[in-house]
Amino acid sequence: MHLSRREFLQILAAASAAGFQLSGADEALAATKKGPGNPYELPPFGNVSLLHYTDCHAQLLPVYFREPNINLGIGSMKGHPPHLVGKHFLKYYGIQPGTLEAHAFTYLDFVEAARKYGKVGGFAHLRTLVKHLRAQRPGALLLDGGDTWQGSGTSLWTNAQDMVDAQLLLGVDIMTPHWEMTFGADRVKEIVDKDFAGKIDFVAQNIVTTDFEERVFKPYVIREVNGVPVAVIGQAFPYTPIANPRYLISEWSFGIRDEEMQEVVDEARKEGAQVVVVLSHNGMDVDLKMASRVTGIDAIMGGHTHDAVPRPVEVKNAGGVTLVTNAGSNTKFLGVLDLDVKKGKVAGYRYKLLPVFANLLEPDKEMADYIAKVRQTYEKKLARELAVTDDLLYRRGNFNGTFDQLICDALMEQTDSEIAFSPGFRWGVSVLPGEPITVDHVMTQTAITYPHVTRNKLTGETIKNILEDVADNLFNKDPYYQQGGDMVRVGGLEYTIDPNQDIGKRISDMRLHGKPIQPKKGYWVAGWASVQEKPAGDTGKPVWDVVMAYLEDKKTIKDIKLNTPKIKGVADNPGYEPI
């Protein structure tokens, strides 16, 4: 069943009468008092407001997006935000099961709830919400946390121009990058110097030249909001040249650089900033550690790990308290941080993470017209139906998702390989059972600037080393050694993992067709998204062509056998709810 907007509002009215809280904060929205017609009516507070979205991955239209059922926290991160899923998440934040809010923040009953409540996000609906909130909050700044230009067919084919123009129309004030860098240094500079000039500040304190370590972009900007000087410091993804191709940005160096961050914070304070906010693409665990080490930051508004966190984490440090937030992905959420600044410092705050339900927000006409125009050239191509799925297709989760499994199956079959590896990306929309799988869907899972499929003979020892390396990136007990993303998805190969162990000891019992993997024996392995400029075993085929050919051969996708490892030592972990 799919609800009309009127029916949806009627349900919301009933939920409001029962005390439903859309934001997950401690108080109900003002809309619950004013009626269901204004569910996004937030009472203004203080004199400085920041609106924040992140990791939209070029999704201009509303989408379905399933949250993870496995998001493990290891060591001191166990049991703490953002490493809570499903029922544990609801209990921690006091959210009632079966509600609209439970659907927004968790995977629970996803298919049924998605059919009932409809799609989320979309730039036309987001613009309506932004304009509404700005009308209540004069001078509010709109912050874009990055991963905006990449993730769709149109963003790839327009060389990111569709998203750049959408940002300008949306009214973004300030942004910081990550996947933007995969369009190459020249293209990034062209956009920053031409399209964004005088309109959007592109800030990153931790991107410097490799020769003299001179900053490539402004480290921060100070904007006056209702008479209050507000500094926004940019923190780009620290491991971009490792997680993505270095050759695309060969003259730039990244890194966490928290000592330099402290210097920039102090400089902004000396310049007169009464509020200092970091717009970060570190990932939430890294942000939490940075907040404990760097003083003078009022809030870190984060991204990269796609975590939807309803309340800020208050982190104590030598200088006071820093708020740490993370605003999900796919324009599914908009964070609203209201600050009350008195006598030169923050005296109080309120925060709401608003789910952006397309059924609850009329699309902004100007943005909707723009999206229709930019997609018009590609619409026939994007709408082409490749197959129909009987299963729910999704990506997000530490170890595998059904869409990733489909990609692995396609790689093995189409390249005649025994094993397949697919990167643990967290971007990519969900497809409900019964829906056609279109070219548009496939591109949301694969649209990158280095898409070539590879086929190589790897020894069992090399395969284990690859798995160990990726696992350490995800499960290292020190957040500063984590790079975000999830475990590499695997087709054909079975293995056991103990996330609590150290590198070299996490992976065991690797098997192929029930037989142990031999360390010195070679196995044919297919993969894609190599970060090498000239990857070994390059087949010359982009991954989307391989996946599309597989789908057209199968016609119907059903009974997907999800190949997940045997996971040890996590039975009591609140970030673990196996299905």
Q: Which of these three, 316, 349, 370, is where a domain ends?
A: 370
Question: Which tens digit of pLDDT belongs to each residue from 464-493?
Answer: 999 999 999 999 999 999 887 899 999 999
CA distance 132 to 130: 5
Domain assignment present for 132: yes
Range in 5-9, 94-98, 558-562 the model is least confident about: 5-9
Q: Which tokens go with 152?
A: 């769709």
Q: Checking phi first, is residue 275 left (phi over 0); if not, alpha (psi -120 to 50) or beta? A: beta
**Placement of tokens 């998203």 in the chain:** 163
Is residue 186 included in any domain, yes or no?
yes
The predicted pLDDT at position 15 comes to: 41
Residue 6 CB neighbour total at 10 angstroms: 9
Does one domain contain both 351 and 420? no
Which two tokens mark 529?
């998204």
> Is residue 21 over pLDDT 60?
no
Task: Count CA atoms within 13 Å of residue 332 on its CB side.
Answer: 30
Hey, is 570 helix, strand or coil?
coil
pLDDT digits (tens, 9 = 90+) for 235-260: 999 999 999 999 999 999 999 999 99
The residue range of the domain holding 270 is 50-57+123-370
Query: Does residue 469 form part of some domain?
Result: yes
How much is the pLDDT for 485?
86
Confidence of residue 6 (pLDDT cuts 50, 70, 90): low
Region 109-125: what's the mean pLDDT? 97
pLDDT digit string (tens) for 210-221?
999 999 999 999
Q: Is residue 287 located within the same domain as residue 398?
A: no
> Residue 463 sits in a domain of what CATH number?
3.90.780.10
The CATH number linked to 338 is 3.60.21.10
Q: How far apart are the two ends of the chain, measured CA to CA in Å? A: 24
Residue 472 lies in a domain: yes
Which among 307, 338, 370 is the end of a domain?
Answer: 370
What does the pLDDT read at residue 519? 98
Instruction: Could you list the beta-strand ranges (E) of 332-465.
Output: 333-342, 345-355, 385-389, 419-422, 436-438, 452-459
Same domain (yes/no): 394, 358: no
* Shared domain check, 431 and 308: no
Backbone phi, psi, residue 45, to 5°:
-145, 140
Answer yes or no: is pLDDT of 458 > 60: yes
In this structure, are 249 and 395 located in the same domain?
Answer: no
The continuous run of DSSP H or E covering 497 comes out as: strand 493-497
Return d(Cα 529, Cα 274) in angstroms, integer.
44
Q: Which two tokens stand for residue 400?
A: 């595998």
Burial of 20 (0-12, 13-18, 19+ CB in 10 A): buried
Find the mean pLDDT for residues 159-165: 98
Shared-domain flag, residues 346 and 399: no
Which tens digits make up the pLDDT trace of 381-415?
Answer: 999 999 999 999 999 999 999 999 999 999 999 99
Q: Which of 370, 399, 429 is at the close of a domain?
A: 370
The pLDDT assigned to 433 comes to 98
Closest C-alpha among 401, 418, 435 to residue 517: 418
**Tokens (6 digits) for 14:** 């009933």
Pair 299, 427 in one domain: no
Least confident of 11-15, 361-365, 468-472: 11-15
Average pLDDT of the chain to the nearest whole number: 94
Structure confidence at residue 35 as a pLDDT band (50, 70, 90)? very low
Secondary-structure breakdown of the chain: helix, strand, coil percentages, each rounded to the nearest 5: 35, 25, 45
- With respect to residue 572, please indicate whether it lies within any of the assigned structural domains: no
Phi, psi of 378 (to 5 degrees): -110, 0
420 and 546 share one domain: yes
- What per-residue confidence (pLDDT) applies to 16? 42
- One domain for residues 471 and 409: yes
Whether 505 has a pLDDT exceeding 70, the answer reads: yes
SS3 100: helix
pLDDT at 27 (0 to 100): 33
**Rounded alpha-carbon distances, angstroms, from residue 31 to 43, 51, 117, 274:** 9, 19, 18, 32
The tokens 């992976």 sit on which residue?
507
Q: Is 276 in the same domain as 418?
A: no
Contact 498/506 with Cβ under 8 angstroms?
yes
Q: Which of 329, 552, 562, 334 is nearest to 425 (CA)?
A: 329
Question: Does residue 200 form part of some domain?
Answer: yes
Residues 360 and 440 in one domain: no
Backbone angles phi, psi at 254, to 5 degrees: -120, -135
For 50-66, the pLDDT digits (tens) are 999 999 999 999 999 99
For 67, phi then psi, to 5°, come to -75, 160
Give me the number of domains the chain comprises: 2
Q: Would you say residue 30 lies in a domain?
A: no
Classified as helix, coil or strand, 376 is helix
Same domain, 393 and 362: no
H and E: helices and strands count for the chain: 18, 26
**122 — phi, psi (to 5°)?**
100, 135
Give the span between the Cα atoms of 221 and 268, in whole angstroms. Answer: 9
Closest CA to 144 of 194, 204, 198: 204
Residue 221 lies in a domain: yes
CB atoms within 10 A of CB 361: 22
**pTM metric for this prediction:** 0.94
When pLDDT is cut at 50, 70 and 90, the band that residue 33 belongs to is very low
pLDDT tens digits along 180-205: 999 999 999 999 999 999 999 999 99
Distances (CA, A) of 439 to 207, 339, 509, 547: 35, 44, 37, 10
How would you class 515 by CB atoms within 10 Å of its CB: exposed for 0-12, middle for 13-18, buried for 19 or more? exposed
